[in-house]
Structure 1
Amino acid sequence: MEDIFGKALLDYLEGNDWKNIKTHSSVAGKDVMPLSYLFRAFEEMPLLEQKALELCKGSVLDIGCGAGPHSLWLQNHGFKVTALDSSKGAIDTCRSLGIEKTVHCGVLDYSGTTFDTLLLLMNGIGIVGRLALLVTYLEHFKKLLNPGGQVLMDSSNIIYMYEEDDDGGVWIPGDRDYYGEVEFTMEYKGQKSPSFYWLYLDFNTLENAAMAHGFTCDLVSQGEHYDYLARLTLKK
């Protein structure tokens, strides 16, 4: 499969004839992903991301690292951080920016090392895709955590994006199990990615799933637009 995302990151980093990534989603329709935002400095990050970075401890696995802005900040502040992404271009970008430890694979394929912090930002839990797979990821996270470790993740409750019925209910498409399962395609320089699902997870659903699978789940902070930062720790 063509690594559209990674190609865009490398074009931007190398100053090639880059374009912003176009996206199309089953909820919001057409949109644009500005490449400059993927390389943002700490001061340009949302407050939830800044808070998450400040809460990191010990060794950190930056899951879905993208261009590596979070990994780079952590590394520059003395953390032992590993940047992980399924996009080869993203990992090549991280290496070019000086991130010392990188892994090119999906998190479910990664094992053998444990961490004090698992970090999933920019709606990081989105990698789960479908709600039915959340349990698989939670169980895998257990295997990646050191004793006393934590998972820091952000997401959004996107129920507000759906139309209300006359009786106050919300109309949800019948082809998905949960309203936060959003189908995306990306386009870059005329090339389109295969469609994929990205999960937007409301906090109550996350909390219930986490508690059912051996975690405590704390709401650390809430943003201005239905977004939040959560911290998961294993029950003692």
Structure 2
Amino acid sequence: MKDIFGKALFNYWKGDRKTPYIVRRDDDYNDESSLRIYFTKQFYPTEKIVAHHVKGKILDVGCGAGRHILHYQNHGYDITGIDNSPLAIKVCKERGCEKAKIMDVFHPKFPPHSFDTILLFGHNIGIGGTLAGAKRLLSSLRKLIKADGVLLLTTIDVTNTKKKVHQKYLQRNRTAEHYVGEMKIRVEYKDQIGDWFQWLHVDPKTLKKLAKDTGWKIIELYETSNGECSAVLSPC
């Protein structure tokens, strides 16, 4: 694994605040971003609206540089973060995250029903990559949640766009009979280019079906005018 994203996080943590990283889609659309967003102490509006549901022992899936771990840890919660990036976990530990582990969420090394709260913030349901992968992800997390626990997630409805470049990509998916929220992307940083991988954004209607199919129910769902979504799920 090249772990280019982890290298970018690590270099930012060590003082390189200027070098951007690029997320490129397979139609060559690319988004150049600052890594600052992975270190901010502020919660995004879509996270704030569901954050009051957090309780008990927490699992942060795809913890990145540990911004959620540090917040909840500093507020007295028992929180564990997992990520498949070794360098991201190294950054977490250097920043003071007490429980951060290199782990594949599809093969978690926790006993069943270990957590009261699971976080999939940062659109991290996208880790599933495809609808089938999202089912695997939610099924894996279902085994880890306690009977009265909650799963908090954020995502985005990609059909809520007026940009022609995105509309064209959506149509390409429809023509290929793929779900519109599936995409293939890669990370580029300095002179390094990562491997292509699948990512997923889920609209509210599809999220409801995914939840139902994997032993969850949606108890709260919020949508913004630009397609951003937040949801609170509980096991059923």
Same fold per superposition (TM over 0.5): yes
* Counterpart AA for 2:9: L
Change (3 A) 1:89 1:224: farther
Of all paired residues, the percent bearing the same amino acid is: 32
> Displacement, 1:210?
1.1
Change (3 A) 1:16 1:214: closer
Farther-moved stretch of structure 1 (95-104 vs 111-120): 111-120
> Displacement, 1:124?
1.5
Counterpart residue number, 2:109 = 111
> Is 1:89 matched with 2:99?
no
Counterpart residue number, 2:134 = 134
Q: What is the TM-score normalised by the length of structure 2?
A: 0.90
Following the alignment from structure 2 to structure 1, what is the Cα–Cα distance between the partners of residues 171 and 14? Answer: 45
Counterpart residue number, 1:64 = 62
User: Which runs of 5 or more residues in structure 2 are unaligned?
Assistant: none
> Displacement, 1:128?
0.5
User: Which runs of 5 or more residues in structure 1 are unaligned?
Assistant: 165-169
> Is 1:51 matched with 2:49?
yes
> Is 1:33 matched with 2:30?
no
Q: What is the TM-score normalised by the length of structure 1?
A: 0.90
Following the alignment from structure 1 to structure 2, what is the Cα–Cα distance between the partners of residues 116 and 13? Answer: 30
- Secondary structure at the counterpart of residue 143 of structure 1: helix
> Displacement, 1:27?
6.4
- Secondary structure at the counterpart of residue 58 of structure 1: coil
Q: Where do 1:1-236 residues align within 5 Å?
A: 1-16=1-16, 19-26=19-26, 29-42=29-42, 45-113=43-111, 114-161=114-161, 162-163=166-167, 171-173=171-173, 174-175=175-176, 177-235=178-236
Change (3 A) 1:138 1:191: same
> Displacement, 1:94?
0.6
Q: Does the 8 Å CA contact 1:60/1:119 hold for their aligned counterparts?
A: yes
> Displacement, 1:37?
1.3
Change (3 A) 1:153 1:24: same
> Displacement, 1:176?
5.8
Following the alignment from structure 1 to structure 2, what is the Cα–Cα distance between the partners of residues 51 and 28? Answer: 34
* Counterpart AA for 1:225: N
Cα RMSD of the aligned pairs, angstroms, is 1.9
> Displacement, 1:201?
0.3
Following the alignment from structure 2 to structure 1, what is the Cα–Cα distance between the partners of residues 28 and 223? Answer: 22
Change (3 A) 1:94 1:52: farther
- Secondary structure at the counterpart of residue 171 of structure 2: coil
- Secondary structure at the counterpart of residue 219 of structure 1: strand
Following the alignment from structure 2 to structure 1, what is the Cα–Cα distance between the partners of residues 107 and 153? Answer: 19
Change (3 A) 1:73 1:39: same
Aligned length: 228
Q: Does the 8 Å CA contact 1:47/1:223 hold for their aligned counterparts?
A: no
- Secondary structure at the counterpart of residue 221 of structure 1: strand
> 1:61-103, CA deviations, whole angstroms, 9 ceiling, x for partnerless residues?
0000111111110111111000110011110111011010011
